[in-house]
């Protein structure tokens, strides 16, 4: 998904769970996942975090990122509930933003939508046995700039994609990010999906992403609740309801949020 769509999905998914400041903070944290990649595009010491984006990675690595990020969120929520530390609440919301980005990119950067027959269906987070008819054909994309360039400049590629739709989108053949992504309305994959299935692939990815993001937030709260007292949980919910942040605070402290998240993730790898 592109930034504005990540923002839309996150806000719509969580608007009944978080106040305006918290929503903006999580959405900004989500979008920060792409900003980091853009900032480090030419930095050989900061390689592309492929698993977070379900791009040029294995399905297993993407799932591992998702599971580890969830653990980081829960740990920070638990610690925040016990200490009343405002910085920990901010860190937990930042962590969830990064987690939600991974969820949302799963739907736009894999062929999940193509495997679900044009209906809304949330992934069960199982790679070996995903809840689709042909689990062996679930695949991520190749995000190399070279493969994208070749597809984009080839004047006959759209015709090729149309004539090889089954193998590219539903079969096991390798597919470039340009060919597969449903990041925005009107992408090649969105257009071809609508032509074949009668509904927008982008819209389906949007709906699935919203549902999954909301479910994941409810899940991390439930799992945190199991690890703390009722008083601590009530305190956690109250502090989330009262969450406030200054307008420039995210940008001023994002390097700290990034560093803490990456260090916690590294400990789990």
Q: H/E element holding 211?
A: helix 201-225
Backbone angles phi, psi at 241, to 5 degrees: -65, -30
Residues 142 and 150: their CA atoms lie apart, in Å, by 12
Residue 170 is predicted with a pLDDT of 80
SS3 91: helix
Residue 176 is predicted with a pLDDT of 79
Residues 32 and 98: their CA atoms lie apart, in Å, by 8
Range of the domain at 83: 1-269
**Alpha helix locations (H) across 125-169?**
145-153, 157-163, 165
Report CA-CA distances (Å) from 202 to 108, 176, 185, 194.
7, 17, 6, 9
DSSP assignment, residue 110? B
pLDDT by residue for the chain (269 residues), tens digit each?
A: 788 999 999 999 999 999 999 999 999 999 999 998 888 877 776 777 788 888 878 889 999 999 999 999 999 999 999 998 999 999 999 999 999 999 999 999 999 998 887 888 999 999 889 998 888 888 888 766 666 677 777 777 888 888 888 888 887 777 878 888 899 998 888 988 898 889 999 999 999 999 999 999 999 999 999 999 999 999 999 999 999 998 899 999 999 999 999 999 999 98
SS3 55: strand
Residue 208 is predicted with a pLDDT of 96
Residues 103 and 174: their CA atoms lie apart, in Å, by 22
SS3 140: strand
Total Cβ atoms within 10 A of residue 203: 16
Q: Check if the beta carbon of residue 44 is closer than 8 Å to that of residue 247.
A: no
Total Cβ atoms within 10 A of residue 146: 9
DSSP assignment, residue 43? -
Residue 220 is predicted with a pLDDT of 97
Q: How many domains does the chain have?
A: 1
Backbone angles phi, psi at 176, to 5 degrees: -75, 160
DSSP letter string over 21-37? HHHHHHHHHHHHHHHHH
């Amino acid at each position: 998904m592109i930034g504005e769509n990540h923002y839309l999905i996150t806000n719509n998914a969580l608007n009944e769970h978080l106040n305006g400041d918290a929503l903006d903070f999580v959405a900004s944290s989500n979008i920060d996942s792409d900003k980091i990649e853009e900032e480090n595009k030419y930095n050989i010491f900061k390689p592309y975090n492929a698993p977070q984006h379900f791009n040029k990675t294995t399905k297993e690595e993407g799932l591992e990122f998702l599971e580890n990020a969830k653990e980081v969120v829960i740990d920070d929520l638990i610690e925040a509930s016990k200490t009343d530390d405002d910085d920990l609440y901010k860190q937990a919301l930042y962590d969830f933003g990064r987690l939600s980005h991974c969820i949302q990119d799963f739907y736009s950067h894999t062929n999940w939508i193509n495997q679900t027959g044009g209906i809304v269906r949330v992934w069960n987070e199982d790679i070996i046995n995903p809840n689709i008819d042909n689990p062996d054909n679930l695949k991520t994309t190749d995000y190399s700039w070279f493969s994208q360039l070749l597809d984009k400049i080839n004047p006959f590629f759209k015709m090729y994609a149309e004539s090889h739709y089954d193998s590219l989108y539903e079969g096991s053949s390798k597919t470039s990010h340009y060919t597969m992504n449903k990041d925005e309305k009107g992408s090649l994959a969105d257009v071809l999906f609508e032509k074949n299935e009668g509904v927008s692939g982008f819209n389906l990815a949007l709906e699935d992403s919203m549902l999954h993001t909301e479910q994941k937030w409810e899940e991390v709260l439930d799992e945190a609740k199991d690890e703390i007292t009722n008083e601590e949980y009530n305190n956690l919910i109250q502090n989330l309801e009262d969450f406030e942040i200054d307008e420039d605070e995210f940008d001023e402290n994002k390097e700290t949020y990034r560093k803490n998240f990456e260090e916690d993730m590294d400990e789990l790898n």
